[in-house]
Amino acid sequence: MADVATKERRILVAVDEGEESAHALSWCIKNVIMQNSKDTLFLLYAKPPRAVYTALDGTGEREDPSGYLFSSDITAAMESYTNDVADCVIEKAKRMCKDLHDVKVETRVENGDPRDVICQMVEKLGADVLVMGSHGYGLIKRAFLGSVSNHCAQTVKCPVLIVKKPKTNAENK
Amino acid sequence: MADVATKERRILVAVDEGEESAHALSWCIKNVIMQNSKDTLFLLYAKPPRAVYTALDGTGEREDPSGYLFSSDITAAMESYTNDVADCVIEKAKRMCKDLHDVKVETRVENGDPRDVICQMVEKLGADVLVMGSHGYGLIKRAFLGSVSNHCAQTVKCPVLIVKKPKTNAENK
């Protein structure tokens, strides 16, 4: 264990607007990050790509070109909303890390399907471990098929730590 | 992080005869187990149930009762072999933990499908985290459908750390 304190580890935590990812980060801070280490903690939020909420707003531009004119307003509102969510998620995650004086904390916000974003960023940042919740990844999770954590665990090369929300929460499955 | 040193964590590592599980244990020792902690490390090996290698020996007792008389010999030999493998796996895992002076190391060998054994033991031992490789779990992995780690990640309530074999090994996928 002696070499750990002097080794810089790059720990990537995928955060979202859900309680589960906050719990995953909290668990990581308490159980993975070492005191007096040279760890770098990356907080990553995957912002939904525009295509997803354009498809979800239901105005169907392609099939009904004469239809609802506020489609672009909705898109703009959603863009603004997702930016606010991203800021909020990242700020909350940073606050949770405020007592990590020895550990470098960096944040990343990337557009795209969380599955792709997370796997790409693990590679790009050279992460030594990926930490994430087990849920379908937040607000728009139903827009994506399958479990994000499952996909990432199968895809990335580094160790993956999947942290579930504690039982006390009714939403936990 | 201060409370970690005084908190007893129960860390369950599923070991098998493969290199990947040895790597998972090694990663866990270096990255999860804390110095001067009150952690307890459980090394768990799931021994294949007799039914599996009886079915695999191909003598088909049910369909060919007059057939090969050495079926029971094969079963006995396999039983002895799996016991030897279990001893060997557990001894190797214990050797890897020999420098963990502060940490209590306990071993468990249980009969059964690794998926069931691991999930049951997480529950029974009240594990705070499950650590395992990502492969199909060793020698008889092809007898089981699907990935053991995937099943366990979906089933157990505690955090699951899935550690893959490093890239340098040709077998890595």
The predicted-structure confidence for A77-126, as pLDDT tens digits, reads as follows 888 888 999 999 999 999 999 988 889 999 999 999 899 999 999 999 99
* Average model confidence (pLDDT) across chain A: 80
- Does the beta-carbon distance from B154 to A157 stay under 8 Å? no
pLDDT at B169 over 60: no
Q: At what angle do helices B148-155 and A148-155 cross, to 10 degrees?
A: 150
Q: Which pLDDT belongs to residue A146?
A: 56
Q: For A34, which residue in chain B has the nearest alpha carbon?
A: B34
Beta bridge partners of B42: B12, B106
Q: Is residue B74 a part of any domain in this protein?
A: no
- Using alpha carbons, select from B4, B162, B97, B105 the residue that is nearest to residue A31: B4
Q: Is residue B76 a part of any domain in this protein?
A: no
Given pLDDT bands bounded at 50, 70 and 90, which one contains residue A140?
low
Q: Is residue B93 a part of any domain in this protein?
A: yes
pLDDT at B75 over 50: yes
Report the Cα B168 to chain-centroid distance in Å.
22
Contacts of A27 in chain B (CB under 8 A): 159
**Beta-carbon neighbour count of residue B22 at 10 Å?**
18
Residue B169 touches partner A, C-beta closer than 8 Å: no
- Does the beta-carbon distance from B134 to A153 stay under 8 Å? yes
Which position has the token pair 């092809």? B142
Two structure tokens written together for B138: 């060793």
Q: Which pLDDT belongs to residue A19?
A: 87
For residue A51, give the H/E element and its range: helix A50-56
Q: Which pLDDT belongs to residue B4?
A: 45
C-beta separation of A43 from A29 below 8 A: no
Q: Which pLDDT belongs to residue A89?
A: 95
Given pLDDT bands bounded at 50, 70 and 90, which one contains residue B14?
very high
Question: How far apart are alpha carbons B86 and B47 in whole angstroms?
Answer: 7
Q: Is residue A172 a part of any domain in this protein?
A: no
Number of domains in chain B: 1
- Does the beta-carbon distance from A134 to B157 stay under 8 Å? no
Given pLDDT bands bounded at 50, 70 and 90, which one contains residue B93?
very high
pLDDT at A57 over 70: no
Q: At what angle do helices A114-125 and A148-155 cross, to 10 degrees?
A: 30
Beta strands in B21-169 (DSSP E): 40-47, 104-111, 129-133, 160-163
Given pLDDT bands bounded at 50, 70 and 90, which one contains residue B12?
very high
> Is ipTM > 0.90 here?
no
For residue A107, give the H/E element and its range: strand A104-111
Q: Which pLDDT belongs to residue B60?
A: 47
pLDDT digits (tens, 9 = 90+) for A59-77: 544 544 544 545 777 778 8
- Does the beta-carbon distance from A153 to B161 stay under 8 Å? no
Q: For B20, which residue in chain A has the nearest alpha carbon?
A: A159
- Does the beta-carbon distance from B150 to A149 stay under 8 Å? no
Question: Within a 13 Å sphere around the CA of B84, how many CA atoms are in the beta-carbon half?
Answer: 6
At A87, phi and psi to the nearest 5?
Answer: -60, -45
- Does the beta-carbon distance from A159 to B160 stay under 8 Å? no
Q: Which pLDDT belongs to residue A32?
A: 92
Residue B123 touches partner A, C-beta closer than 8 Å: no
- Of A80 and B138, the one with more pLDDT: A80
Residue A162 touches partner B, C-beta closer than 8 Å: yes
Q: Which pLDDT belongs to residue B67?
A: 47
Contacts of B129 in chain A (CB under 8 A): 31
Question: How far apart are alpha carbons B34 and B101 in whole angstroms?
Answer: 11
For residue A143, give the H/E element and its range: none
Question: How far apart are alpha carbons A118 and A122 in whole angstroms?
Answer: 6
- Does the beta-carbon distance from B3 to A163 stay under 8 Å? no
Determine the residue type at B93.
Answer: A
- Of B77 and B67, the one with more pLDDT: B77
Q: Choose from B74-78, B89-93, B153-157 the range with maximum mean pLDDT.
A: B89-93
Q: Is residue B173 a part of any domain in this protein?
A: no
Mean pLDDT (whole number) for B168-172: 46
Shortest CA gap B49–chain A (Å): 27
Contacts of A147 in chain B (CB under 8 A): 154
Shortest CA gap B157–chain A (Å): 7
Least confident span in A68-72, A169-173, B33-37: A169-173
Q: Is residue B130 a part of any domain in this protein?
A: yes
**Beta-carbon neighbour count of residue A32 at 10 Å?**
24
Which position has the token pair 């940490």? B103
- Of A46 and A101, the one with more pLDDT: A46
Q: Is residue B73 a part of any domain in this protein?
A: no
Question: How far apart are alpha carbons A172 and A67 in whole angstroms?
Answer: 40
Q: Is residue B137 a part of any domain in this protein?
A: yes
Residue A37 touches partner B, C-beta closer than 8 Å: no
Least confident span in A6-10, A108-112, B72-76, B143-147: B143-147
Provide the 8-state DSSP code for B93.
Answer: H
- Of B100 and B7, the one with more pLDDT: B100
Given pLDDT bands bounded at 50, 70 and 90, which one contains residue B87?
very high
Residue A149, domain CATH: 3.40.50.620
Q: Which pLDDT belongs to residue A4?
A: 45
Domain with B133 in it: 2-48+89-163
C-beta separation of B16 from B89 below 8 A: yes
Q: Between A32, A153, A157, which is nearest B32 by CB? A: A32
